[in-house]
Amino acid sequence: MAQILVVDDEVGIRELLSEILSDEGHQVLLAESAASARGLRERQRPDLVLLDIWMPDTDGITLLKEWSANGRLSMPVIMMSGHGTIETAVEATRIGALDFLEKPIALQRLLATVHKALRRAEAAPARELSLAALGRSPALVETKKRLAQLAHSPSPLMLRGEPDLRAELFARLLVGPGAPFLNGEAVLTDAPSDVLTRAGGGVLFIDDLTRLGRSGQRSLDFLLVRAARHRVRVVSFSPVDGKALIERHDFDAELVKRLAELTLRLPPLREFAEDVPDLAQGMLVQLVESRSCPSRRFSTAALNALRQHDWPGNLVELEAVVRDLAYSSLEEEIQIEDVERALAGRAPPPAAPELPAFDLDRPYREAREDFERRYFERLLASEGGSMSRVAERSGLERTHLYRKLKALGLQVGRREEV
């Protein structure tokens, strides 16, 4: 059966609910305050929470908002109150509560509500990362406002930005609750009539136009012509401009023109760095809630280190680093040293030192000797001083190679490779 967390400051209510739910075969966890509920929710990850609204330290609505904002509302929550109002119930369900029970709670009403909540939780798809509740940085706030404005237009929209932005997260902000969202790149090979029917009233999204071959482009063109008739909004993402799509990716100019009737630039992750801590916590919660890694949480210093990184690989790189930290950190709390280790492991190797500019304004003999010296210095360094590999790569016989290096003043040993 399920694991149910009961949060109520009245000991009598806690004991009564525990007895009833235990008799139904459920495992019951008890918390007398919001602080206790936070800890139990992190350690145990319950399947359902019964949450009282009026508590002395933090009220239930505030705790519900907190869980919703930081991605921890991954389980159904049923609110409870002896002083409930319609406004309170509406507010709770708007934030994410599944239902509302008024005290004193009737036995049959309690059991029916719990049963319904657990059934819905089993059928619910895995929780996905969302930008809906984020917006600490001005760049993300502005982008979300523009998307909200563009959501009212039926015209095709092309999102533009750097690679690995996870443009799908931005595109999903264009659809209302319950509206279909289809990733078109995966369905362009399906029958067009099926695609348009499934996407009706929602968005058909093409994740990266540069990956579409001629066949995919023809399918997209066919769907684009018929999209308005089926109330389908075509949204696409491209890391290059329209001219590059035509010249380097063999797109038809008319197709590009129609796809880009409306265009919006998406900011790279470094431009909304203030939201990186919330994004990282949301990604970590997904991994923990799926039980694919042990319980993990970020220290404040670790989150600050993530916020200060430049993220050249944008959201895809952030996801990879969070996954690395979730699986490889040795303690439950991820520290700044863990973040530094993960980022250092992904840093590109240092570039080879640049050689001074080659001076061509000198006698031929001098220029030739300078070139040969640079050539063999670089070759010796890249092959770790292995004479056999230097001879093979340069195409020189070993004896000739030794004489050449000596003439150039390069000191080498006669080390043989095993």
H-only helix segments in 228-313? 242-248, 253-259, 276-289, 300-308
Q: Give the model's pLDDT for residue 365.
A: 84
Angle between helices 34-44 and 60-69 (to 10 degrees): 40
CATH hierarchy code of domain 364-407: 1.10.10
CATH 3.40.50.300 fits 147-266, yes or no: yes
Fold of 270-346: Helicase, Ruva Protein; domain 3 (1.10.8)
Q: Give the model's pLDDT for residue 376.
A: 87
Distance separating alpha carbons of residues 104 and 67, to the nearest angstrom: 26
- CA dist 250 to 74, 207, 217, 242, 364, Å? 44, 17, 9, 11, 47
Which pTM value belongs to this model?
A: 0.66
Distance separating alpha carbons of residues 167 and 366, to the nearest angstrom: 55
Q: Give the model's pLDDT for residue 417.
A: 44
Strand segments (E) across 124-266: 157-160, 181-183, 203-206, 233-238, 262-265
Six-digit token pair at 409? 């003043």
Rounded to 5°, the CA angle 345-277-281 comes to 85
Question: Tens digits of per-residue pLDDT, 5-29?
Answer: 999 999 999 999 999 999 999 999 9
- 343 CB contacts (<8 Å, ≥6 apart)? 305, 309, 321
Q: Give the model's pLDDT for residue 185.
A: 78
Q: What is the mean pLDDT of each run of 10 residues along the chain (418 residues)?
A: 93 95 95 93 88 90 88 87 79 89 92 93 73 92 96 95 96 90 85 90 94 92 93 96 94 96 97 96 87 88 96 96 96 95 81 65 84 86 80 86 86 52
Domains of the chain, residue spans: 3-123, 147-266, 270-346, 364-407
Domains 3-123 and 147-266 share a fold: yes
- 126 CB contacts (<8 Å, ≥6 apart)? 286, 290
Q: Give the model's pLDDT for residue 368.
A: 86
Q: Give the model's pLDDT for residue 124.
A: 63
- The domain at 3-123 falls in which architecture? 3-Layer(aba) Sandwich (3.40)
Residue 210 near residue 164, CB atoms below 8 Å: no
Q: Give the model's pLDDT for residue 418.
A: 38
Q: Give the model's pLDDT for residue 416.
A: 46
Q: Give the model's pLDDT for residue 37.
A: 95
